[in-house]
A and B are shown apart, each in its own frame.
Chain A
Amino acid sequence: MTLPRRSFFQFLARGTGAVVASWAAVKGISATMFREVLPARSVAPTNQKWVMVIDLAKCDGCRDCTRACGTMHFVPPMQEWVKVFEVLDNPAAGRYFLPRPCMQCDNPPCVRGCPVGATFKRTDGIVMMDQERCIGCRNCIAQCPYSARSFNWGEPQHTAAELSMPYSMEYNYPHRKGVVEKCIFCPHMLRAGKLPACAQGCKMGAIYFGDELEDAVTNSKGETIPFTKIAKRGAAFRLLEELGTEPRVYYLPPASRKYPTPDEKKALEMHS
């Protein structure tokens, strides 16, 4: 009668031993296999956290930001890295303009899904895009809830000025066929201490840009405001907050607008 019990305890002891041994093995394997080293390209040149604030009350839908961005990056036709949407939240509320750059999410779905690390998060908050590594699977487009990504379906139309520059991830041109592109907050401008093209190009001063750690955002008119103040006093919101993507682009609600709403603008155009 004692024999089965003893063998049962033996079984238990061996089982525990096996579990402990496999735990140690897995730990050892994972320590060597999964070394958590940040590659050089994920480390930004400066220790900053870029943030953008777009004051919707100041946006008159002129699309200067889209054009400035297109000029800066030679964005191929039919692509808009900064796209100005006309948003209608509900039938009673009027329409408003909403410029949509890449949100540079802190929890970016595109980066999660990229199989080759062609799109990656940098320590300064920018979600970069490497057109030399992208395999064109378009999983990032499926992942992005903001439709902020474009694909070069054919050979993009080139200009001489675009082709005169060597390719750089920091400005994402010359453009190539079969890869994904998007807004990247103009890292080459930031390196030079200048505002991104859209913020610089917005004549209304609606786009503020700055370093969250500096707690200051600046628009094209040179107005510099503490970020926490503008976000708190302006009741800033982020687009599709409920998805948990943690965007680095904040919007100030289009309250007490200084410019015609999209509907009024259309009516004006009809009259003239």
Chain B
Amino acid sequence: MISKREEHLLSTLTETSGRFYRWIALLLAIVLWGLYAYVHQLRHGLVVTGMRDEVSWGLYITNFVFFIGISHAGTLISAILRVTHTEWRRPITRLAEAITVFALCIGGPMVIIDLGRPERMLNLFRYGRIQSPILWDVLSVSTYLTGCILYLYIPMIPDFAMLAERSSLGAWRRRLYKKLSLGWTGSPQQWTLLERSISVMAVVIIPLAISVHTVVSWIFAMTLRPGWNSSIFGPYFVVGAIYSGAAAVIFSMYVLRRVLRLQDYLQPVHFRNLGLLLLSFALLYLYFNINEYLTMGYKFEGIEKEYLTRLFFGDYAPMFWTVQAVGVFIPALLLMAVLGLGRHQSFTIPGVALASFLAIVGAWAKRYLIVVPTLSSPFLPGQRIPWEWTHYRPTWVEWSVTAAAVAVFLLIYALFSKLFPMVSIWETRDPDAVPVEAEAAAPAPRGWGAISSIPIILITLTLAGASLAHAGETRKPRKPAPTALSLEWQALPADKLAAASAEEEPPDAITAGRVQHSLSQLFGQLHFGSKNAEEQKPPSAIALKATLKDERGAPVAMQPVSFSLRTSFGLVQYGSRPTNEEGKAELVVRERRYGRYPVLVAYGGDEAFGGTRAEISVDFGLRPAPGLPTAGVLIAPYATAAIGLPFVIFYGIMWVVYLYAFGYLILWRVRRAGREKHPN
């Protein structure tokens, strides 16, 4: 039953060399050192890092993007090969999927390490705003991690059942395998269910994987910063992630082949095929790099000029060009040489492995070059701040935590390879030996993909209309000795208002408003009106009429009367107007003002007449109801359907599929099928 190469593979689980222990001890030492550095950072705050206000993200975010990128290819390659029934995939799927899971386990926590207040992390769930790219990341990475764990675990079930029966393994391990095998007996019905579950997972993992790295890129692309403010960032990141991830898969294949002596499983054909994939992604990544930097560099526009100058010729240039060479050019040339030229084919495996290693290192440095130079080239470059604030230098704490992150990754991978066979045993058996009679690729459950358009609910901000003209209410002027001022106000008629506003509104504004209105009907509050609704109101025109009379009630002519209006912080002075023969002075105020305000009118007096003043409350129209600006949905403190539904639906579907593929097919059906066969 168990062939010679399987015997060897299983022996890797039990035979442990001294070198392995030394390796584990080394990794553990690095992890402990990193832990010390992190505790140091927790105690003193992020001040122990090289990050400051100007460059506020550094190595941690670099590591986050890098590890999420590494995680990308394993599952994706495995899923694509499974969906297309590619036979040579069989020995590599598990080690590829394992990379994904462990890289995600390292990448996710890097963001938490970067937080200034990690203890408040749960606020993300208490107060989470679906409008924020950070929350999209939480949603997508957690969904992806769950999916990848299931996708790694489900194909391992038959192997667990087989391992549980091997007497050469220790008792506790056999108990563990027994538990994990979920009552697997290998009945035909169980095989059918397993194959269907794997196929369903493989189909949904592909769009999920693509979405995750797109969402990661959106953290950057959703800002206004030069170098990040780019619409191509999603695919650029996806391709870069698949490139680095494929490199990680190849390199781990190379290492496992050497260390665990899996030459029987991992053959040159795997290196060749994956090497070709890596080559095509290297060239694709080169294309994206050219597209990204050429479109910016050709125009050399405004703020991007500063950024690109530093990147191409300035302080980041040595690193930039080295990374382009080491991360893209040299791997591509190396791959072409060992894969394309016949006489170099004996170097295929080391050559492809070396190219992968360079690609991985280059990928990390590229992530650094994405994060840091942009932050250090802001719109308003800092002034009067220390040199270190604008020139990021990672400190020992950040380097230690980074080293520990890599060490944890290698440690988990090494321990995993000791606990579980790194190659799927049942999948690599002679296909005839595996009793699979069901047609494997069950199509993904139908219907879920149909929800493509999202109804968007519109709330139009309505504006309190311009108030009607009130009949002026007059107030009795106070009675100082010789003169008396009376003041009345009147809102000017509508035609005058229209005349006043006509010169301001361009003729096509109404049409534009109509277009915007109909668009807003369609897309909810997603439109970004440049004008606030309340600004549309034309200025109100108020006529203020003051009447100056003497004691006997006779009008006082040709005297200056000054007008002013009291606001929250001070008086708006309108200057003075002379009274006419009837003792009347008039002032028309055309200002965009809302609410009631005291208007003061004063007469300074002269030799003949004493000074006097009067006050009246003038209504400039209703204040608009308090509300947030029409920019609307993205700054609202509550989740709105327009932005919430796409994420909820997409990732919700994933969870429903998990529930079906794992919860129903595996946990429920497979376990029941196992009990039926062997009733206790």
Residues of A near any B CB (own CB < 8 A): 15, 18-19, 22-23, 26-27, 30-31, 33-39, 42-44, 47-49, 78-79, 83, 85-86, 100, 106-109, 111-118, 120-121, 123-125, 133-139, 141-143, 145-147, 149-155, 177-180, 193, 195, 209-211, 213-218, 222-226, 228-229, 240, 243-246
Determine how close the nearest CB of chain A comes to the CB of B60; give it in whole angstroms. 10
User: Inside 8 A of B138's CB, which chain A residues have their CB?
Assistant: 115
Is B127 in contact with A136, judged by CB distance below 8 angstroms? no
User: Inside 8 A of A149's CB, which chain B residues have their CB?
Assistant: 53
**Residue in A117, A125, A229, A240 whose CB lies within 8 Å of B379:** A240
Closest to A199 in B: B569
**Residue in B47, B49, B53, B592 whose CB lies within 8 Å of A147:** B53
Determine how close the nearest CB of chain A comes to the CB of B564; give it in whole angstroms. 9
User: Inside 8 A of B47's CB, which chain A residues have their CB?
Assistant: 153-154
**Residue in B116, B219, B532 whose CB lies within 8 Å of A135:** B116
User: Inside 8 A of B645's CB, which chain A residues have their CB?
Assistant: 26, 30, 34
1/0 contact string of B91-133 vs chain A (CB within 8 Å): 0000000000000000000010011111011011011110111
Is A39 in contact with B638, judged by CB distance below 8 angstroms? yes
Is A30 in contact with B457, judged by CB distance below 8 angstroms? yes
How many A-B residue pairs lie within 8 Å, measured between CB atoms? 263
- 13 A-B pairs with C-beta separation under 8 A: A31-B457, A49-B534, A106-B532, A115-B124, A115-B129, A115-B132, A137-B115, A143-B224, A151-B116, A153-B116, A179-B116, A216-B567, A224-B573
Is A106 in contact with B116, judged by CB distance below 8 angstroms? no
The 5 A-B residue pairs whose C-beta atoms are closest, nearest first, are A136-B116, A178-B116, A154-B47, A224-B570, A218-B569
Is B224 in contact with A243, judged by CB distance below 8 angstroms? yes
Interface residue ranges of B540-573 to A (CB < 8 Å)? 565, 567-573
Count contacts on B: residues with CB < 8 A to the other chain: 91
**Residue in B44, B569, B573, B624 whose CB lies within 8 Å of A195:** B569
Closest to B632 in A: A107
**Residue in B129, B568, B597, B644 whose CB lies within 8 Å of A117:** B129
Which of B145-153, B165-173, B446-454 lies at the binding interface? Answer: B446-454
Whether a CB of chain A sits under 8 angstroms from the CB of B284 is no
Given A22-B451, A224-B571, A154 and B592 touching (CB < 8 A)?
Answer: no
Q: How far is the CA of A125 from the CA of B626 in the complex (A)?
A: 10
Given A107-B629, A195-B569, A18 and B450 touching (CB < 8 A)?
Answer: yes
Given A115-B128, A211-B567, A145 and B116 touching (CB < 8 A)?
Answer: no
Is B569 in contact with A177, judged by CB distance below 8 angstroms? no
Closest to A216 in B: B567
Determine how close the nearest CB of chain B comes to the CB of A179; give it in whole angstroms. 6
Determine how close the nearest CB of chain A comes to the CB of B634; give it in whole angstroms. 5
Is B624 in contact with A213, judged by CB distance below 8 angstroms? yes
Given A34-B641, A116-B129, A213-B624, A135 and B120 touching (CB < 8 A)?
Answer: yes
**Residue in A30, A113, A177, A213 whose CB lies within 8 Å of B116:** A177
- Looking at chain A's contact residues, is the secondary structure mostly helix, strand, loop, or mixed? loop
Given A26-B451, A115-B135, A195-B569, A150 and B53 touching (CB < 8 A)?
Answer: yes
**Residue in A135, A151, A178, A193 whose CB lies within 8 Å of B56:** A151
Is B134 in contact with A115, judged by CB distance below 8 angstroms? yes
User: Inside 8 A of B131's CB, which chain A residues have their CB?
Assistant: 112
Is A193 in contact with B568, judged by CB distance below 8 angstroms? yes
Is B54 in contact with A147, judged by CB distance below 8 angstroms? yes
Determine how close the nearest CB of chain B comes to the CB of A230; give it in whole angstroms. 11
Is A210 in contact with B224, judged by CB distance below 8 angstroms? no
Is A145 in contact with B120, judged by CB distance below 8 angstroms? no
Determine how close the nearest CB of chain A comes to the CB of B619; give it in whole angstroms. 13
Whether a CB of chain A sits under 8 angstroms from the CB of B623 is yes
**Residue in A85, A116, A152, A246 whose CB lies within 8 Å of B45:** A152
Whether a CB of chain A sits under 8 angstroms from the CB of B591 is yes
The residue in B131, B567, B591, B644 that gathers the most chain A C-beta atoms within 10 A of its C-beta is B567
Whether a CB of chain A sits under 8 angstroms from the CB of B46 is yes
Interface residue ranges of B488-534 to A (CB < 8 Å)? 528, 530, 532, 534
Q: How far is the CA of A243 from the CA of B631 in the complex (A)?
A: 13
Q: How far is the CA of A217 from the CA of B570 in the complex (A)?
A: 8
Is B45 in contact with A178, judged by CB distance below 8 angstroms? yes
1/0 contact string of B44-77 vs chain A (CB within 8 Å): 1111110111101100000000000000000000
Closest to A30 in B: B641
Is B570 in contact with A18, judged by CB distance below 8 angstroms? no
**Residue in A15, A47, A139 whose CB lies within 8 Å of B134:** A139
